[in-house]
Structure 1
Amino acid sequence: MSPRSWLFAVALLVGLVSSLPADEYRTWSDVSGKFTVQARLVRIEENYAILEREDGVKVAVEISKLSPADRQYIERNLPENPFIVIEDKSAKKLELPAAPSTSAEEPLAGTGFRPYFIEHANTGVAIDWSKVKPIPIDPSVDWTLTVPYAKPITRKVQSFGLPAKIDMFEKVTALVTHPLANSVVVQYTATRPGRQEKSHRFVFCALERQKVAATPPGSEDSSALAIYPSSVSNEFFFVCRRDKFGFGNRDVLSINSPMASGDPSAPFLRVWFTWTPYETMTGAARDVKWADFPNERTLVTCSGTGLILIWNLANMQPEASLQTTMGHVPALSPNCQWLAFATRDQVGILDIETRRIVALQNTPRPQAFPILAFSPSGKKLACLTNQRMISVWDVASGKLEADFSLPSGIVFGEKFLFPHDDFILGGDRYLLHWKSQLLVWDYKNIEAAAMLGDLTCVVFSQSSAAGVGNVSCLGLTHIPHAAALQVL
């Protein structure tokens, strides 16, 4: 497939989507007038109108099949510019911030909170384990919740070009987002024949400005895990984990930021802070399996054996712990207020601020290596167990709504997203309608995916015959897209 034809395919998949201001519910009808629906117009995607009924169910209909009056209604509500950028050759330079001020005489805009890793950069920290309070798992806790309103973060569907891969051995190994951040980190890793060490480089993408910058390749083994949601507009920090082979060698975390160099398109990384969260442990218990920031004052980590720590970023100390199960990946709720967790026999929800378990129930079976994910609305919670079993719960009532095995031949691995209340995305490619347990779509060109509010952030890649000078694209899009909705 040529780069030109592949970009056209990307445009179809991402969709030429226009957000529409119409909030009114009205009667829509097809050309024949035999079929009608009371709904409001949500958006236009490709040649489909996406409508939402009063009960919240979304339907897709080809615009050409709508009545003339409905087509005129759509035309009146279209924005002036319905086009998005597919490839922006000028989007090569990212304006990088200068080093944040650590002087009390020069406060930066924002909430005024300055995390320990800035105020005490390069100093390290001695962890006081005596002050860590274990969070008890009380079996008497029931499951009745009021799902908090997930305030939508306005982001537009968009896509733009990424730097080409250096060669055929370079792969996307991490895609990191945060709902409160306006930047994305893409990590490329290459393992080349005859070389023992790996090559890594990071691409930083400013979403609002559609600008990118890539670090030069480096040999230090590390993986990007999380983006810090700084309230200061000109700051950008992200967390990396040391990634050496063997248990106990994925243990060191560092907080980094890209800094401007002589070449604006090739920043260097400044390491602000380095520490070992599970320094007293050994083996898998020492490894950091997962990490994320619920807010600018808090970091949550989970070890390889499932020990969750809640860190206070004011002093870089863990304040609370929760023991879950080995290989566990918890999930932050869309509003970052709750943390969904799983033990071998239970699933629960922890209120991060109060350090209290607010919901708990037994699972259908013992769970091995459970990976959790919230839907964008926060109304559904899914769990992938042993890389093949899926359970889905209603968050408000705790009702188990689905429990099934993946279709034969479908492998999710550890890549598990919940991009829509009715659909699950696994392996960064397989779209599953969990209510019917049907495989709806195979996004073969997606190399990495991550949630960003109600949009899915994806990296598309297409190699040339030589593996050099290939086309890569970062996109924010709706998954499922309109054509996938029509499959059901």
Structure 2
Amino acid sequence: MISRLHRCEFLGCTRRQAVAASHKRMTNRAAWLSWTAGLLLVLSSSSLPAQESRTWTDATGKFKIDAKFVSLEGTKVTLLQTSGEEIEIDLSKLSPGDRKVAQDLAKKASENPFQVKETNPFAPKAGKSSTGGSPAGPSMPDRTAPGGTEPAPAAGNGTYTGRDAQLTSSVDGVTELLLTPQSDKLALPRNDAVVDRKLPSRGIALPKKANFFEKANSMLVHSSKPEAVVLYHIAPPGQSPITRVVVLNLETGKITAQGQVPNLYTGVAYGSDGLILVRQVEHHGKGNKGLMEGWIVKGKDLAREWSWEPAKGQSGRDEELVWGEILPDGRVLTANEGGKITCWKTEGDEMKALWRLQAQGSSRPDVTRDGKYMAIVADKQCAVMDLEAGEVVATVPTKGRHLPWPRMAISAEHSRMACFGFDKIIVWDLQTGEEIREIATGPISGGAAPLWLDDDFLLLGGHLLVDVKNQLRLWDYTGAEMTTFYDRTGLFVVGGPSQSSSLIPIALPHPAAKNYLARALQDPNLFILKEGTQVAIDVSGIQDAAQQAAIKDKLTAKLTQRGFVVGASGSIILKASTETGKSEKMSYRSFGEAPWNAKEYNVQSYISRLKFVWNGKDVWEGSGNNIPGFLSLSKDETIEQALKKHEKPNYHFFEHCEIPKLLTKPAENAAAGSSTSALGKSTVTISGLQ
């Protein structure tokens, strides 16, 4: 979807009627998930007959559990593990031997008139949870939307239940800020008083996951205490999703509180006063994506303080919350998908808007660690805002460069600012306001916000370490399910055997990465593409010969602008090609329509591709296709007719695709086309870096 949205801006659409697309793919994994739905674990408050625990195997032989037989009702077998977890499985999905065991035990149970019932003391008070997971404390009530009246029981000993207030919003008298800077030059005073907190180097064992479907979603770190909150999503197919919450002390490694809540939530911020800010996310069209909640931990109790809809009454992108922050003085910042950033102050059960400004849609701002400054991107410029004064300090231009889904990063020392947009980074020196780097990174996986480790190193996607000074993809930290930071110590959630997981703290950059960098920089041939390099252009792969000359001219201009020398031959070749892809199934719907109202269309795809080739090896590649992520329909035009116009190679790609300024020599064992990989790589395991 990222490349599709990236590409759509090159198609020059005018939006008389906008139609959004999503690509439906049926994978083997999806089919497998559907098949295994019968194996999901379920929490229950029902009772069970006393039976011995044994190993049960499913019909495929791949899955085994140790559990007691509870009952056979119709075709449903209920089992109970020693932890108190109940499991429901269709009889037909057990192995033939275990089917007979279940039937025999059910027969014996029905013949026993004095059967004893063992109550699960950790089960929810009513109904069954869809988690099948370890007991996580009592549940907070559902808040798909504010308006429920049931109390909010706490997790823990139940001494604190939370206010569970429903906050209202007031925008009366809100100040509409414009990106009008107070100064014509960006120059922040450097903050050299930053002190990073330290943690013991040992790993921290996390609670065992319920099943295959439980995934760590987000983690928040307290701004002043060594405390973290981990949110897990448990969303088995066909069952109601829940969020499991675990609060732990990062110094002792002990769990201090845990609980669960219906629907899926993702962490937003963890305030100095202990307020945990979360937002609800949609799941298969259900859930309130405009709902934000404040949870509180007191002792062993975890409860909801309030629920709130900042964008209530809005629609489309303005309705969906995507970012938030809690400032040291208790003010709350929110941003919606449409780019509106608002600063709120709590007054009783009302959130009062103090100011708001319009940033770029789908962007993510960043706030300095001390809460003084915020970096935003909007209207072809980036800006730094003084949050205490409520004014824009200064702006810097992005010079028309394409930056889709931009994420900002501003360093703790107030010395560096970066804007990362899909496949490139722009970096500014905040003391001088000068742009000091533009680095073509290629697409980076991972949704973690970029983080400055110091003035020279930036971490992208929670795993890729970039050496900004030398414009290198230095190191890739793989193997983690999720990453966040305790100041500048990485906290990696790593899975282990049998659904176990651990939190591994690692100070970054680690010494081996720095040592490797020092050695690599001694190699005079480290960079195979740099300013002054002679590059040859090969357009013979363009299927339509009539387009070859025009594309070669565009590529010549692009390379010259980058500082390269274009010649008939060169040490490195830029190859352009097009190819006919396969017919793709696309679903389109009008903006505002429910996803289930989308209709499918067959679209013939064409691939446009650029490659840098060095010594016969592909060292960089960029590609795009012709399928639009959005359509703009003229009067009386149908979707079929609009799609037919796009059934040809996307030649705009060759003009707008960003090519790198620097390329490093690939490693001897590098796979073809792996130029976007880092110089080095480590896997984070439960034992540390490997």
TM class, shorter-length = 0.5 to 0.7
1: distance between equivalents of 2:382 and 2:308? Answer: 30
* Residues 127 and 301 (structure 1), Cα distance of their counterparts in 2 relative to 1, 3 Å cut: same
Structure 1 residue 173 corresponds to structure 2 residue 217: yes
1: distance between equivalents of 2:445 and 2:429? Answer: 25
2: distance between equivalents of 1:345 and 1:247? Answer: 35
Residues 60-104 of structure 1 deviation map (CA, whole Å, 9 limit, x = unaligned): xxxxxxxxxxxxxxxxxxxxxxxxxxxxxxxx99x9798679xxx
Q: Which residue does the alignment assign to 1:482?
A: 511
CA contact 2:191–2:412 (8 Å) conserved in 1: no
2: distance between equivalents of 1:338 and 1:480? Answer: 25
CA contact 2:197–2:486 (8 Å) conserved in 1: no
2: distance between equivalents of 1:213 and 1:168? Answer: 25
Alignment of 1:118-157 (within 5 A): 121-138=163-180, 141-157=184-200
Alignment of 1:184-203 (within 5 A): 184-192=228-236, 194-203=237-246
Structure 1 residue 357 corresponds to structure 2 residue 392: yes
Of 228, 252, 255, 2:294 maps to: 255
1: distance between equivalents of 2:227 and 2:475? Answer: 28
2: distance between equivalents of 1:354 and 1:100? Answer: 37
Q: Which residue does the alignment assign to 2:404?
A: 368
Normalised TM-score (structure 2): 0.48
> What secondary structure, in the 3-state scheme, does the structure 2 residue paired with 1:486 have?
helix
Alignment of 1:305-454 (within 5 A): 305-315=338-348, 316-364=351-399, 365-385=401-421, 387-407=422-442, 410-413=444-447, 415-454=449-488
TM-superposed CA distance for 1:242, in Å, is 1.4
Structure 1 residue 299 corresponds to structure 2 residue 328: no
Moved more, 423-432 or 338-347: 423-432
2: distance between equivalents of 1:366 and 1:425? Answer: 21
Letter in 1 for 2:267: A
Alignment of 1:466-477 (within 5 A): 468-470=498-500, 472-477=501-506
CA contact 1:96–1:259 (8 Å) conserved in 2: no
- Paired-residue identity, %: 23
> What secondary structure, in the 3-state scheme, does the structure 1 residue paired with 2:172 have?
helix
> What secondary structure, in the 3-state scheme, does the structure 2 residue paired with 1:436 have?
coil
2: distance between equivalents of 1:211 and 1:137? Answer: 46
Normalised TM-score (structure 1): 0.67
Letter in 2 for 1:487: Y
Q: What is the total number of aligned residue pairs between the two structures? A: 359
TM-superposed CA distance for 1:378, in Å, is 3.1
* Residues 97 and 324 (structure 1), Cα distance of their counterparts in 2 relative to 1, 3 Å cut: farther
CA contact 1:432–1:441 (8 Å) conserved in 2: yes
> What secondary structure, in the 3-state scheme, does the structure 2 residue paired with 1:487 have?
helix
Residues 88-128 of structure 1 deviation map (CA, whole Å, 9 limit, x = unaligned): xxxx99x9798679xxxxxxxxxxxxxxxx8xx34433322
TM-superposed CA distance for 1:250, in Å, is 1.3
* Residues 278 and 455 (structure 1), Cα distance of their counterparts in 2 relative to 1, 3 Å cut: same
TM-superposed CA distance for 1:321, in Å, is 0.6
Q: Which residue does the alignment assign to 2:303?
A: 270
Bigger helix fraction: 2
TM-superposed CA distance for 1:484, in Å, is 1.1
Structure 1 residue 461 corresponds to structure 2 residue 504: no
TM-superposed CA distance for 1:178, in Å, is 3.7
> What secondary structure, in the 3-state scheme, does the structure 2 residue paired with 1:284 have?
helix
1: distance between equivalents of 2:287 and 2:261? Answer: 22
Q: Provide structure 2 residue ranges, at least 5 long, that are not aligned to the other structure.
A: 1-135, 138-154, 518-690
Letter in 1 for 2:471: Q
Residues 317-348 of structure 1 deviation map (CA, whole Å, 9 limit, x = unaligned): 11111110111111111221111111141111
Q: Which residue does the alignment assign to 2:275?
A: 237
* Residues 479 and 321 (structure 1), Cα distance of their counterparts in 2 relative to 1, 3 Å cut: same
TM-superposed CA distance for 1:424, in Å, is 2.1
> What secondary structure, in the 3-state scheme, does the structure 1 residue paired with 2:224 have?
coil
CA contact 2:231–2:265 (8 Å) conserved in 1: no
2: distance between equivalents of 1:476 and 1:243? Answer: 28
Q: Which residue does the alignment assign to 2:247?
A: 204
* Residues 416 and 482 (structure 1), Cα distance of their counterparts in 2 relative to 1, 3 Å cut: same
Letter in 1 for 2:238: R
1: distance between equivalents of 2:439 and 2:419? Answer: 11
1: distance between equivalents of 2:271 and 2:157? Answer: 15
